[in-house]
Amino acid sequence: MTIRTARPDRGRHFRPRMHCIKKLEAMVVEMQDLKSGVKGSEQKLNVTKIPHVITGQDIIAWIASKMKTETEEAHVFGTMLVAYGYIYPLQNHKKLVMCNDTSLYRFQTPYFWPTQNWVAEDSDYAIYLAKRNIRKKGMLEPYEQVHYNHLHEWLNHKWDFIVMQATEQYKAGKERMKPDCVVFDCQERAYWIVNRPPRRTHSAMDCGPERLIDPSADENIFYQQAIMRSKVKSSVSLGALVKYITNYKNHDAFLAPCLPSNPWQTDNDAYWTLNMRRVDVPTKMRVERWSFSLFELLTDLRGRDDFKIFLKKEFSGENLAFWEAAEELKWGTASSMSTKAETIFKTFLAPGAPRWINIDGRTMGLTVKGLDHPHRYVLEAAQTHVFLLMKKDTFFRYLKSPVYKDIQKKALNPEPHNFSPAQLEQNALTRSPGIHPIILWQQEEEEKAKAAAASAPVDVKAMMSKIDRKK
């Protein structure tokens, strides 16, 4: 049985960004230059004098002067140097940020730079934690204690060796001078905070999918969800892709020519005229596209009108009417939202409504409850339910109906235009301006108003009074 003692090699993650990291190291080397670099001095930390100490404001000022940038950008760059472990704080070890004040920092020794590519193994981290546990007499930081307990359980088979190594390193550290001992302890702690960050924090060294996992949650949740996610065979997905390309290749302007001609190339607007939104007789390509899916049919206003004719003959037009009302609520103005929601409830959802729709009780309950405080997407669940009902049943009956077959026979198949160079020049000279979109919108609104007036109940008394007045 193989016992895993090391985490994945982080060195392989550095390779794509090694060029960027080397630029950072070149900047750090310039900062340590004795003549033109950041000036350091000896500072007292508690009771120990630490050599070559620099302040955060000196580092930021040097970066701003060197890179000719604003102080804010220099501050961000300094924080990046701290996050990658090239500069470490002497006072607040947990926060890997650069403070623009008199906070004390030191340059990390090159042995701990990321380009060294030595793997931060769990056994080395366990030795470091065991050494700190001996020095602090069991008083570790909370996150270090969690890591220590986890590694103790994981590396139990070699824990005696780890404790022995930690003891030897602790004895060797006691023989050093006090400043050197403090400096080495800070360097080592800074390295492990970068490579083994506390919980609920991310490390600059992380990249790939594991960076997207919330560190406060159990890491296994991500992998469990990936395993439980439904899978599709590659043959099935490729077959669906081939079917989609086969259906749509003749309708793609980049793969097939426009019939009768491309108006952007020939200055002839016959293509736009034949494919207007409310044209009387559509083209064959347009009618063929309706058969691809219910979404294609409802997206095309001309196809939707034809679908309404079929539903009217079958006395089942309430589903499509509800779907359209939900679309109007979703894309309409905010001021009319409450009025439209109340009208939809009275027309389609209320008990005994004139155009009551048949949806399951759970969806109906959620929808009616949401209408107490209406918003744009309050009908989303009911609209989706109705759409699926039409997709599974009504749509396929429409494709087999005489209504669709009749429009297929009447559909136009325009012949391609073969303009000569002289004709193309003439088309460019006689080019007429297109219809403004606002005018098209006004025409559609007028048609909607006429259709609504035609479908509204007729007041007989009002009609009779108007007739009497005319007499």
Distance separating alpha carbons of residues 394 and 320, to the nearest angstrom: 10
**Looking at 219-228, 392-401, 415-424, which range is the least confident one?**
219-228
Q: Is 17 helix (H, G, I), strand (E, B) or coil?
A: helix
CA-to-CA dists, residue 369 to 71, 338, 350, 379, angstroms:
54, 14, 12, 11
Question: Which residue in this structure is represented by tokens 């044209």?
Answer: 279
Instruction: State what percent of residues in the chain have pLDDT above 70.
Output: 83
Q: Please give the model's pTM, rounded to 2 decimal places.
A: 0.49
**Token pair recorded at residue 404:** 């669709």
Beta-ladder partners of 53 = 41
- Average confidence score pLDDT of the chain: 81
- Within 13 A of 410's CA, how many CA atoms are on the CB side? 11
CB atoms within 10 A of CB 80: 16
Q: Is 4 helix (H, G, I), strand (E, B) or coil?
A: coil
User: What pLDDT was estimated at residue 49?
Assistant: 82
- Read off the pLDDT of residues 229-250 as tens digits, 9 standing for 90 and up: 777 788 888 999 999 999 898 8
Count of residues in the chain: 471
Confidence of residue 172 (pLDDT cuts 50, 70, 90): confident
User: What pLDDT was estimated at residue 3?
Assistant: 38
User: What pLDDT was estimated at residue 436?
Assistant: 66
- Spatial neighbors of 182 by CB under 8 A, at least 6 apart, are 45, 48, 50
- Spatial neighbors of 106 by CB under 8 A, at least 6 apart, are 50, 52, 53, 54, 87, 88, 90, 183, 186, 187
Residue 406 scores a pLDDT above 90: yes
Distance separating alpha carbons of residues 319 and 324, to the nearest angstrom: 9
Four-residue CA torsion sign, 342, 346, 349, 354:
negative
Confidence of residue 1 (pLDDT cuts 50, 70, 90): very low
Which of 310, 309, 314, 382 is CA-nearest to residue 344? 382
- At residue 100, what are phi and psi to the nearest 5 degrees? -85, 65
- At residue 352, what are phi and psi to the nearest 5 degrees? 75, 20
User: What pLDDT was estimated at residue 284?
Assistant: 92
User: What pLDDT was estimated at residue 198?
Assistant: 76
Per-residue three-class SS string for 210-273:
HHHCCCCCCCHHHHHHHHHCCCCCHHHHHHHHHHHHHHHHHHCCCCCCCCCCCHHHHCCCHHHH
Decide which of 24 and 444 is more confident: 24
Amino acid identity, residue 122?
A: D
**Token pair recorded at residue 67:** 């890179």
Confidence of residue 286 (pLDDT cuts 50, 70, 90): very high
Which of 386, 398, 413, 387 is CA-nearest to residue 306? 398
- Read off the pLDDT of residues 36-55 as tens digits, 9 standing for 90 and up: 888 888 888 777 788 888 88
Decide which of 100 and 441 is more confident: 100
- Within 13 A of 65's CA, how many CA atoms are on the CB side? 11
Residue 216 scores a pLDDT above 60: no
Average pLDDT score over residue span 170-186:
82
Question: Which residue in this structure is represented by tokens 């926060």?
Answer: 95
Q: Is 156 helix (H, G, I), strand (E, B) or coil?
A: helix
Which domains, from first to last, does the chain contain? 16-115 (1.10.10.10), 276-410 (1.10.167.10)
Average pLDDT score over residue span 68-81:
89
Distance separating alpha carbons of residues 393 and 306, to the nearest angstrom: 17
**Token pair recorded at residue 294:** 């219910």
Would you say 274 and 412 are in contact if contact means Cβ atoms under 8 Å apart? yes
Confidence of residue 458 (pLDDT cuts 50, 70, 90): very low
**Token pair recorded at residue 192:** 């492990």
Would you say 53 and 104 are in contact if contact means Cβ atoms under 8 Å apart? yes
User: What pLDDT was estimated at residue 463?
Assistant: 47
Residue 60 scores a pLDDT above 50: yes
Which of 166, 26, 232 is CA-nearest to residue 110? 26
Residue 398 scores a pLDDT above 90: yes
Would you say 388 and 294 are in contact if contact means Cβ atoms under 8 Å apart? no
Q: Quote the longest CA-to-CA distance of the chain.
A: 121
Residue 356 scores a pLDDT above 80: yes
Would you say 183 and 50 are in contact if contact means Cβ atoms under 8 Å apart? yes
Would you say 132 and 116 are in contact if contact means Cβ atoms under 8 Å apart? no
Distance separating alpha carbons of residues 442 and 75, to the nearest angstrom: 55
- Read off the pLDDT of residues 107-146 as tens digits, 9 standing for 90 and up: 888 888 877 766 778 888 888 888 888 888 878 888 888 8
Would you say 155 and 187 are in contact if contact means Cβ atoms under 8 Å apart? no
Residue 439 scores a pLDDT above 80: no
Decide which of 292 and 278 is more confident: 292
Distance separating alpha carbons of residues 104 and 100, to the nearest angstrom: 10
User: What pLDDT was estimated at residue 462?
Assistant: 53
